Chains A and B, each alone.
Chain A
């Protein structure tokens, strides 16, 4: 089956925030047809690799099928807790948008369902 590479931004949306010493990213498939792609492609290992520049702890993934979503906990990703951090993004507000930059393989027959390819 032919597949094509797209950014996650083409098939999913996301939100992130701080969670203790790290951040969380909720990643939601735009359509039910795309949820299996998230399950298959967006693994703990790949997210850790994608965010290797600033996630110093482990990455945990939880499935939230009723919302066609995945929840990721990025441990030790803020350079210290909320107020001690000297980073410009001390709350991990940008981590969700950052995950949407990841590239994934999507079957060609699903390309027609992509609503925005920016």
Chain B
């Protein structure tokens, strides 16, 4: 039976930058999916594009392609991504630039457009599409002037079309993560898009893959059973044309693929188990059968699905002000009491200055006292195993790039480290200048003789 290998090399923008390279080089692979767009990423990209019309896509993706393009071409590996963001044409231009640098010709790059609804919003609302909030049922109209991005989630079909036209790389904006895995299956196996069980199988394969190492030992409850998590292998699905598939990872990598690691990922961000709605299908997670198929191999079968719904989900974002957070470290004795006093002082001094934050607009968390899970009974925790700790890592180096590289290693721990890791919302730590004192003597003329001032006019 025809089998194809589909991997995920990036679970979110900010994930480990070496992972997709290692996924490509570590073993057999036919397709690599790369996910960069969280719910709010497009609104960040909109700000970038407003500042610079050539921006608005995932720059990490272009760095990856530049690094591996000759190998991709040689091995015929195709890459599917939502890295195009709000500016897939600019992203394609950068990829073509990278190809020219490598002296590569014949590279075909597909762009999928049409998800961006921002400029169509007035017209859509005028014609009766209220775009009501799925949670609160409020209409969008009162906020429409503040909307900074509005994108519909596309399904697998346009990605399939790009593959049919011979694309080696497909760049999308907003598309479901699951479509990046389903599309190559439809394309390679010639699946009929009305065979709902097959659509559900490809979709569930995509759900398992979409967060990268979260199905291969990352974020797994029994983290102590996972070997070499630092070197965790990103997932590979061996998909078969009958809709069954095997979840695995490359030999020689760290991590763990078991029925338990895969089951945890199946339940990640799950709503009603028998009603997982995508543009392609309504998948039934209560039909999934997982079977241990040897070391780091799990077989998945039995998947059922139903007809897709007449709706697509729109993800819009609007400007809702600003926020900031800051951290102080406070020691005992009476550390909690001191921390609460500090917070009280800050709020009162702000109030004296005429700056008042209502209850809904401020948050005081004393970390280390159960701030993540307030009220959860942790008295059974031994003294040396507290409910919560703050990990603070710091580096110093003469090279900016080394310090910057360090900053990229924290966020990936959320999906590829042990479970219960959070607090990464501040973004990558930015290198700050270290100002050091170095007293020395130099002959005056050594300086004065070399001073040269120029003024140029454009």
Contacts and interface: CB of A to CB of B under 8 A. Distances in A.
Interface of A: 7, 9, 13-15, 17-21, 24, 26, 28, 30, 50-54, 62, 64-67, 69, 71, 73, 79-84, 86-91, 93-98, 100-103, 116
Interface stretch (B162-170, B219-227, B230-238): B219-227
Contacts, number: 141
B221 A100 contact: yes
27 contacts: A7-B380, A9-B221, A13-B264, A14-B264, A15-B214, A17-B269, A18-B269, A19-B269, A19-B271, A26-B268, A51-B376, A54-B375, A66-B288, A69-B267, A71-B267, A71-B270, A81-B135, A83-B39, A83-B317, A86-B361, A88-B422, A89-B423, A97-B221, A97-B420, A98-B373, A101-B378, A103-B380
Contacts of B68: none
Nearest to A53: B375
B127 to A, nearest CB: 27
A14 B320 CA distance: 33
Contacts of B350: none
Nearest to B321: A84
Given A86-B325, A86-B363, A90-B425, A67 B135 contact: no
A1 to B, nearest CB: 24
A89 to B, nearest CB: 4
Nearest to B302: A66
B263 A94 contact: no
Interface in B356-392: 360-363, 365, 367, 371-378, 380, 387
Contacts of A71: 267, 270-271, 273
Contacts of A21: 135-136
Nearest to B219: A15
A20 B374 contact: no
B377 A50 contact: yes
Contacts of A67: 263, 266-267, 285, 288, 290
A65 B288 CA distance: 10
B287 interface: yes
B136 to A, nearest CB: 8
Interface string B9-42: 0000000000000000000000000000001100
B372 A88 contact: yes
A52 B136 CA distance: 22
Given A15-B214, A15-B221, A67-B285, 12 more contacts: A15-B268, A19-B271, A26-B267, A53-B376, A54-B374, A64-B285, A79-B363, A80-B360, A84-B323, A87-B365, A94-B373, A96-B221
A55 to B, nearest CB: 9
A80 B135 CA distance: 11
A21 B137 CA distance: 13
B271 A88 contact: no
B125 interface: no
Ranked nearest first, the 8 interchain pairs of A and B with the lowest CB-CB distance are A53-B375, A26-B267, A13-B221, A53-B374, A86-B363, A97-B420, A98-B373, A93-B422
A99 B70 CA distance: 48
B444 interface: no
Interface in B260-311: 260, 263-273, 285-290
B347 to A, nearest CB: 13
Nearest to B43: A83
Contacts of B273: 62, 64, 71
A82 B270 contact: no
Given A15-B265, A87-B365, A20 B135 contact: yes
B420 A83 contact: no
A83 to B, nearest CB: 5
